[in-house]
Structure 1
């Protein structure tokens, strides 16, 4: 569990009637275009290998869903592989594989994205396929009924049969009152059981439009040529008015929330989550989110970070510990610490050790040498990430979906280098307090015997 900047891998002027391009002297290998139908195109040149990553990002994720239809964003992701008038169900993946490429898709709280990685001469072919299903998705009710069973089985295997996932699901549902972040991306089972093909079609018609999409292409490409091909395939799609997005501002929390989950597991687990601020678009000079990023790294940014060193190696109260914080996102954010208990240790002991480690930072701060080491590590990891063409496309797309520009990435990294130990200490003192805390505990239950398990095996269809 790491922060956004730690997790994600991080012009010329051209004008015509249907597109414009912006250029930045600091990043001459990145080019941004806007098509007349509202689609944004970002091209990152990287000529080190004859390959290209092609990604389409729709700014529609689980946070855009409404009660009773949770999980529909993820279900539609599945249905996008079920064919168009030109491409039969199941043929999309086969056609990408036939040109030596790999492809997949993923849904998050903030967006849904589709990608292909191919040899550069095959870019036109996968772009044609992706543009086709942006406008011409066509699946029947029978296809939907088969696929919704696959999604329900996915929920069973990845959530209901996974104690850590169950704990996180209950944590989010307890921490948030108003924000749609309280719903799981995969959806609640009852909503999946009652979902209809019409729900998926409505989602597609509402959100899968060029004016709600960003195409990111990274690799060994010529931006001028890419723009022409994108105009050819994506330019025909029509813009459409998007649904009104309600703000759904999360009410201020006024005290500790607690939830207990009983599930088969080998050991107890503890998760502690605090309400914290995030970085806002246009306000890149807000120091608190950067300080929280660095606090997460102080606690869990490397093998000998504070929590791992104290709780795992010295006190041996937990088997593992993780810290999570996303500085950029569309919705509200949590600063999360999660652990699983070591044999013979209790949740109360783990919570006490975590609180003690946090109090040490609140009372005494962190060393300047400690913070410098973390900053160097962040920069070095960023350099390594940019060795990956796909990683560059991921970083650009995820940043854009959160409401920022790819131009902000380096600004954020530079700003983080200016944060002081006193600022890290200040945010820990200000935000890691009980009034904004939610605690989730997994109470482990005995697992079924191997004999009874054999009669209850399930497999994804």
Structure 2
């Protein structure tokens, strides 16, 4: 056979490498006569270079602007005529395109998607028009959102060398200077078969999907993936602070701590006698995040927002866990209650982590977090779209098939002592960045923005 099966798992997921070098992942689920077809490209804003930030996202928009055989806008119209829905998304680690269609229309969307992946083209004039749509998207979703602007500035301070310092949508000055050639060069460099994966989930037959994938994707040109140079983040050796002024109704504070993430190697070592220490800590940090704010009545909302004299109106904890590059961030955030300051919220947030470091967590908290995680993973499987999305994200990160089950197994082994240990180890000052929103007067007469005509997002 020209393509080789690489792996399979008991749930029926199978993975293949097509003749072109593209990966194919198929997961049958026959509960409804629908299918999800996704194309994942292992390229996102982290693969950009300074001066062209935002080009990955702009290119996502341009992928809807036609091929020699499909006019601009016809891709979406044809998918709709098939009874399907479609869209796309760009993140720091990846770009993705999807269609959810009746299962018997899978070949139609494979034909369409393989064509635009290989033959995307558009004029300079079309590019210039769509670039204005992207700029307006940035104005509406970032520049008019004080929290988004603060986190954008915070990322640029948290990371010095790591590529996560750039915003996905791009800096406005880079968008102003972007040319059609920038997007075309990015497309030619990264949109190659062995840097992409097709994921199909739903009411499908694996052999039939494999045959269709070879027909439409197997003959694509094969080129080497460009070398990715390491951009390792230097060790942070002291606290960083950012005061950010923007029109806003309330103040806000965010604290970002650099912590380990879950690597592909660490996940693969889950069956060994000596698991990777960093991945063990990553799972413990996941539990800590959930203990702090993963459910109603978790520690942060209970201690900071539900008391008789609350410190905050809103609080949260977030830990990313997975990404193509490290280090990861563990973020605490809060909005002060009336009469309270961001300094008081910051102190209260850190006090709750310090309390875990000192006294640990209860077995009841640990069990609740684990049970909720397991239930959440089960609920995700009710959606064919979510099944395909998880398979795609796992492929982007280099995780093997069965990673979701491995994560559950790892989670079940996390102990209260491990959670206490990471709370004590990673929440000091040296790897901390604090960003504080200082509210400025809001123009009450200003009308909300709307995306300009032509936007499809």
Report Cα offsets for 1:180-232 as digits up to 9, x if no partner. Answer: 10000000000000000000000110010110001100000000000111111
The partner residue of 1:122 within 105, 112, 127 is 105
1:246 aligns to 2:238 (yes or no): no
Is the Cα contact below 8 Å between 1:267 and 1:343 reproduced in 2?
no
Q: How does 1:35-184 map to 2 (within 5 A)?
A: 35-184=18-167
Contact 2:7 2:401 in 1 (8 A): no
Instruction: Give the alignment's Cα RMSD to 1 decimal.
Output: 1.2
Give the distance between the partners of 1:246 and 1:459, measured in 2 at CA.
37
Shift of 1:353: 0.8
Using the size of structure 1 for normalisation, the TM-score is 0.94
| Equivalent in the alignment of 1:313 | 306
1:408 Cα offset (Å): 2.1
- The count of aligned residue pairs is 441
| CA displacement 1:434-458 (0-9 Å, x = unmatched) | 10000000001111131xx25x855
TM-fit CA distance, 1:343: 2.1
- Name the structure 1 match of 2:379: 384
Q: Which residue of 2 aligns with 1:446?
A: 441
Q: Could you list the per-position Cα deviations for residues 104-150 of structure 1 after superposition, in whole angstroms to 9, with x for gaps in the alignment?
A: 00000000000000000111111110000111001000000000000
Residue of structure 1 in register with 2:271 after alignment? none
Q: Which residue of 1 aligns with 2:203?
A: 220
Q: Which moved more, 1:422-431 or 1:334-343?
A: 334-343
| Counterpart mapping for 1:204-219 below 5 A | 204-219=187-202
For 1:161 and 1:19, the matched residues in 2 are separated by 49
Matched residues in 2 for 1:145 and 1:96: separation? Answer: 26
TM-aligned CA deviation for residue 82 of structure 1? 0.1
Any unmatched runs of 5+ in structure 2? 268-274
Alignment counterpart, residue 179 of structure 2, candidates 196, 217, 233 = 196
Q: Equivalent residue for 1:5?
A: none
Partner SS, residue 335 of structure 1: strand
> SS of the counterpart of 1:283?
helix
Task: Look up the SS of the partner of 1:417 in the other structure.
Answer: helix
**Any unmatched runs of 5+ in structure 1?**
1-15
In the TM superposition, residue 402 of structure 1 has moved relative to its aligned partner by: 1.1
- Paired residue for 1:424? 419
Q: What per-residue deviation string (whole Å, max 9, x for no partner) do you get for residues 384-437 of structure 1? A: 110110000011101110121232221121011001000000001101111000
CA distance in 2, matches of 1:391, 1:373: 23
Of residues 317, 332, 346, the one that matches 1:323 is 317
Following TM superposition, by how much is the alpha carbon of 1:331 offset from its aligned partner in structure 2, in angstroms?
Answer: 1.9
Distance 2:168 2:424 in 1: 32
Kept in 1, the 8 Å contact 2:293–2:317? The answer is yes
Structure 2 residue 389 is matched with structure 1 residue 394: yes
Contact 2:133–2:451, Cα closer than 8 Å, also in 1:
no
Matched residue SS, 2:317: strand
Structure 2-normalised TM-score?
0.95
27-36 or 358-367, larger mean C-alpha shift: 27-36
> Closer, same or farther in 2 for the Cα pair 1:198/1:376, shift >3 Å?
same
Q: Secondary structure at the match of 2:87?
A: strand
Q: Is 1:360–2:358 an aligned residue pair?
A: no
- Partner of 2:452 in structure 1? 460
Rounded to whole Å, the distance in 2 between the matches of 1:362 and 1:237 is 54
Which secondary structure does the structure 2 equivalent of 1:328 belong to? coil
Question: Partners in 2 of 1:340 and 1:127 — Cα distance?
Answer: 47
| Correspondence 1:409 to 2:408 | no
Q: Is the 8 A contact 2:19 2:214 kept in 1?
A: no
Cα 1:297–1:457 change in 2 (3 A) is closer
Match in the other structure for 1:6: none
1:302 aligned to 2:304? no
Secondary structure, in 3 states, of the residue corresponding to 1:340? strand
- Pick from 368, 373, 378 the counterpart of residue 373 of structure 1: 368
Q: 1:394 to 1:458 in 2, by over 3 A?
A: closer
Determine which of 276, 286, 290 is the counterpart of 1:293: 286
